[in-house]
Amino acid sequence: MRFLFTTQPLVGHFHAMVPLAQAVKDHGHEVAFATGEGFCRIVKQAGFDCFPCGRNWFSSRDTFADLSEWPAIQAAVSHPAIQQIWGFILGFGPQMADDLIELMSRWKPDMIVREPVEFGGYVAAELFDVPHASIKWAVYITPRHGCVEPLTELRLRHGLPEEPGLESFDRYFVLTTMPPSWQFIDPTPPVVSHRFCMPPFDHSIKRDLPAWVHTLPDQPTIYATLGTTFNQAPDRFQALIAALSTEDFNTIITVGESMDPAQFHPLPPHVKIEQYIPQTLILPYCDALIFHGGFNSLHSALWHGLPVVITPLEGGDQRITGQQCVGLGMGVMVEGEPPEPEAVRSAVKAVLDQPSYRQRAQELQREIKALPSLSEAVQRLEILARTHEPQVNEHLL
């Protein structure tokens, strides 16, 4: 069978799809990605074929700033998180759908698997009567909450009928990797949602573990990141440095490929700054994680059983993720733009000094590692590709 994975040309979005794509490939199926042309080299480095589709904006420093549609979206919608979904639908959806429609007429996939904010794949799959699945992040992102209008516009533009309730959206299969304790009342995931154990992936940007990691002093080690998408926040990094510079912690900070670590020098000896270190390599050396609320960092923290401090940025799901971490007892959230260094410092000391935070993180770690394997997820996808029947989770009915 042929499986087409569709993603925005963003490292974190792609990384969240790779383990499933690799599992599908390992089962003997043909796998390819569709994404922006400039991002295809990242996909190919990870070992997958790639079709250039959609806007070519991988090199952009701001996800939405270059969109001609963005001022109108900001004027029409007040909530920042909803603005972003509108941007992904109306800014990036039309060309992605156009290119996928042309691609599918010649490559003919048996299924499309999309990430939560890539909507062209949904439209193209509906047009070709191909089943489609999605990978859920920490929060279920659905256009039924404030985004019916733009997705309806995208559907109508490509010849699909009006569907006021968007019943066809995520109707076949939704895969989540979060533990059973991670639940939201609103929005409620669809009845085709299933949980599977998926290890984190973060090696498409080739980096080794720095040699200095092996010589760190025998004291707590803190890793801090603002992710790879909404990470243009030098004031936020300065606040983190100020918070941890006076403490007896090994502090490791990554600022992303588009930022120069030298701008934050000079630094005390116990603070190290790099552009990128794969979290699967660095987190085994760490005692806590400071992050922005992004899914991949959260997933990695859970995988390694680490307590967290969340300082949310502008990503639509980040504050909700932080609130959930607090509610589950695995972390502390620090707000502010930028956050007060003393508040960050106090939060870090809390998650290090109070054992309950690590204990709760380790409980959640055991939950996700006990979930069904990705091999079972692939079996579900195979059934769906053959039968076109929604894969209903009986426990959710």
Question: 43-89: per-residue pLDDT in tens?
Answer: 999 999 999 999 987 655 567 878 888 999 999 998 888 999 999 99
Evaluate whether 70 touches 150 at the Cβ level (below 8 Å): no
Quick one: average pLDDT of 211-229? Answer: 90
CB count within 10 Å of CB 280 equals: 16
- Tell me the average pLDDT of the chain: 92
pLDDT tens digits, 93-150: 999 999 999 999 999 999 999 999 999 999 999 999 999 999 999 999 999 988 999 9
Using CA atoms, how far residue 2 sits from 130, 286, 297, 380, in Å, is 11, 40, 30, 15
Of residues 138, 87, 62, the one with CA closest to residue 317: 138
Q: Residue 185 — pLDDT band, cuts 50, 70, 90?
A: low
Question: What is the structure's pLDDT at 61?
Answer: 57
Using CA atoms, how far residue 223 sits from 106, 255, 359, in Å, is 46, 11, 19
- CA–CA distance, 389 with 385 (Å, rounded to integer): 8
Tokens of 225: 């990141």
pLDDT tens digits, 257-316: 778 888 888 888 899 999 889 999 999 999 999 999 899 999 999 999 999 999 988 667
Is 80 exceeded by the pLDDT of residue 222?
yes
Of residues 136, 280, 137, 288, the one with CA closest to residue 205: 280
Q: What is the pTM of this model?
A: 0.94
Question: What is the structure's pLDDT at 259?
Answer: 81
pLDDT tens digits, 350-373: 999 999 999 999 999 999 999 999
Q: What's the first-to-final CA gap in the chain, in angstroms?
A: 30
Domains of the chain, each with CATH number or no CATH: 2-197+371-396 (3.40.50.2000), 211-369 (3.40.50.2000)
Of residues 315, 285, 313, the one with CA closest to residue 300: 285
- CA–CA distance, 11 with 58 (Å, rounded to integer): 9
Is 70 exceeded by the pLDDT of residue 341?
yes
- The DSSP 8-state label assigned to residue 160 in this structure reads P
Is 70 exceeded by the pLDDT of residue 204?
yes
Using CA atoms, how far residue 75 sits from 66, 69, 80, 142, in Å, is 16, 10, 11, 21
**What percentage of residues in the chain have a pLDDT greater than 90?**
74
- The DSSP 8-state label assigned to residue 87 in this structure reads I
pLDDT tens digits, 17-48: 999 999 999 999 999 999 999 999 999 999 99
- CA–CA distance, 66 with 45 (Å, rounded to integer): 27
Question: What is the structure's pLDDT at 62?
Answer: 67
Is 90 exceeded by the pLDDT of residue 161?
yes
- CA–CA distance, 322 with 134 (Å, rounded to integer): 23
Q: Hey, is 102 helix, strand or coil? A: helix
Evaluate whether 229 touches 200 at the Cβ level (below 8 Å): no
Sign of the alpha-carbon torsion through 203, 208, 210, 215? positive
HSE, CB side, 13 Å, CA atoms: give it for residue 140. 23
Give the alpha-carbon dihedral of 64, 69, 74, 79, to 10 degrees: -70
Question: What is the structure's pLDDT at 338?
Answer: 86
Classify each residue of 190-223 as buried b or exposed e, where b means 16 or more C-beta atoms within 10 Å of its C-beta.
bebbbbbbbebbbebbebeeeeebeeeeeebbbb
